[in-house]
Homo-oligomer: A and B are copies of this chain.
Amino acid sequence: MNRQRRNFLKNSALAIGAGAFTELPNSLFAKNIPENFRTGRMKFSFRPYTLELKHVFTLAISSRTTTPVVLTEIEYNGIMGYGEASMPPYLGESHATAQAFLSNVDLSKYENPFELETILADIDALAPGNPAAKASVDIALHDLIGKLLNQPWYNLWGFNKAKAPVTSFTIGIDKPDVVRQKVKEAEEFKILKVKLGRDTDKEMIETIRSVTDKPLTADANQGWKDKHYAVEMTHYLKEKGVLYLEQPMAKEDVEGNAYITQHSPIPILGDEAIQRLVDLKKAHEVYHGVVIKLMKTTGMREAHTMITLARALDMKILLGCMTETSCAISAAAQLSPLVDWADLDGNLLIKNDVYSGTTVVNGKIVIGDKPGIGIVKI
């Protein structure tokens, strides 16, 4: 047995852990490592799933009652890592594109699941675009690694989970009586997010203000066409107790959005305009802040890098989401102790979640203590 083990260690192509396991008998975590550790290979699988929304979801440019997602799994020596791609139709990904992309993902060739820098660069290079599909691999890898280390990611990143912020809750565009009903249902939340970008914007705000004086946030989803109108609206929103505004005009309109940022009394955040790290570098003089979503950033690792960069550039950070299961929401929540604001309500807007994980208590994000991204299958 000892000799077998020595031979295993000696012959292992991957030396990681070899010294560790033999040199540190007192380690709290290192005992009973199975003989086949590091001889296993990651097995990747995925399946399409359709989220059913509790309410019809109306944004500036679309309405829908479902969101297509793909659920991923990585199995490694009996440990399972879970991931998810969420693909609101207007962003261009679908069940078909994600499955086509993921069919080309081969994780079995990597001997060391910890080598995220290399593995995720390879995944990214498989094809351009496909950020949600890429995120579904990144999230499952993070979940797996956290479970191998028996630690949640907020701990591996060194964050204090008590610093997780409150989350806003989204009130979609709707008729006044439905809006008032939604506000009542959102009683637990300390901040409400209002979808704007249509000709009913002030009516939406007035309707909500008729039933609550909670702080609001606003998201125009590129819906406004005139920068002067948009600046007027920022002053109106400030008066109405709105904390910040997301993406007032089309993402391509750099000059228009920059003009609004220069003249707004509330922070202007780039969302559609800032997908990945490369966009953030260019956008830091156009917006006060950035909306970071795992489905844009290709997952947790690039999101973490973008948060690091945004903080270094003194940009405000909103951590957002799509309609997602508790898988992607709990993954994002691991990053939340480092951000200014969170809008992680995507799992609360759906009827058929398949995981439990991060919860919201008195409006505040409560990150669980489970390892990895902190979820279990329902």
B159 touches A115 (CB 8 A): yes
Chain B hits for A368, CB < 8 A: 19
Q: Distance in Å from the Cβ of A340 to the closest Cβ of chain B?
A: 15
| Best-surrounded residue of A114, A115, A158 (most CB of chain B within 10 A) | A158
Interface string of A276-309 (1 = CB under 8 A from B): 0100110000000000000000000100010011
A308 CB contact (under 8 Å) in B30, B308, B376: B308
Interface size class of A (residues with CB under 8 A): 35 or more
A20 touches B308 (CB 8 A): no
A150 touches B27 (CB 8 A): yes
Q: In whole angstroms, how far apart are the Cα atoms of A30 and B79 in the complex?
A: 12
Interface residues of A in 109-136 (CB under 8 A from B): 112, 114-118
Chain B hits for A28, CB < 8 A: 33-34, 37, 77, 79, 148
Whether A236 is near chain B, meaning CB under 8 Å from some CB there, is no
Q: In whole angstroms, how far apart are the Cα atoms of A195 and B309 in the complex?
A: 33
Identical chains in the assembly: 2
Q: In whole angstroms, how far apart are the Cα atoms of A152 and B148 in the complex?
A: 14
B337 touches A20 (CB 8 A): no
Chain B hits for A157, CB < 8 A: 117
A15 touches B301 (CB 8 A): no
Q: A20-B150, A32-B32, A33-B28 are in contact. Are A369 and B15 (CB under 8 A)?
A: yes
A309 CB contact (under 8 Å) in B23, B151, B312: B312
* A118: nearest chain-B partner, CB-CB: B160
A150 touches B19 (CB 8 A): no
Q: In whole angstroms, how far apart are the Cα atoms of A322 and B152 in the complex?
A: 35
A149 touches B151 (CB 8 A): yes
Whether A31 is near chain B, meaning CB under 8 Å from some CB there, is yes
A371 CB contact (under 8 Å) in B20, B115, B159: B20
B117 touches A158 (CB 8 A): yes
A29 touches B312 (CB 8 A): no
* A78: nearest chain-B partner, CB-CB: B26
Chain B hits for A19, CB < 8 A: 368-371, 374
Q: Distance in Å from the Cβ of A38 to the closest Cβ of chain B?
A: 10
Q: In whole angstroms, how far apart are the Cα atoms of A253 and B15 in the complex?
A: 47
Chain B hits for A16, CB < 8 A: 151-152, 155, 369
Q: A27-B79, A79-B26, A338-B117 are in contact. Are A370 and B20 (CB under 8 A)?
A: yes
Q: Distance in Å from the Cβ of A24 to the closest Cβ of chain B?
A: 6
Interface residues of A in 167-182 (CB under 8 A from B): none
Q: In whole angstroms, how far apart are the Cα atoms of A307 and B79 in the complex?
A: 32
Chain B hits for A376, CB < 8 A: 23
| Best-surrounded residue of A20, A151, A368 (most CB of chain B within 10 A) | A20
Whether A105 is near chain B, meaning CB under 8 Å from some CB there, is no
Whether A313 is near chain B, meaning CB under 8 Å from some CB there, is yes
Q: In whole angstroms, how far apart are the Cα atoms of A143 and B28 in the complex?
A: 14
Q: In whole angstroms, how far apart are the Cα atoms of A136 and B338 in the complex?
A: 25
Chain B hits for A337, CB < 8 A: 117
Whether A254 is near chain B, meaning CB under 8 Å from some CB there, is no
Q: In whole angstroms, how far apart are the Cα atoms of A19 and B146 in the complex?
A: 13
> A114-B151, A281-B312 given. 6 additional CB < 8 A pairs?
A16-B369, A17-B150, A18-B369, A28-B34, A29-B30, A309-B309
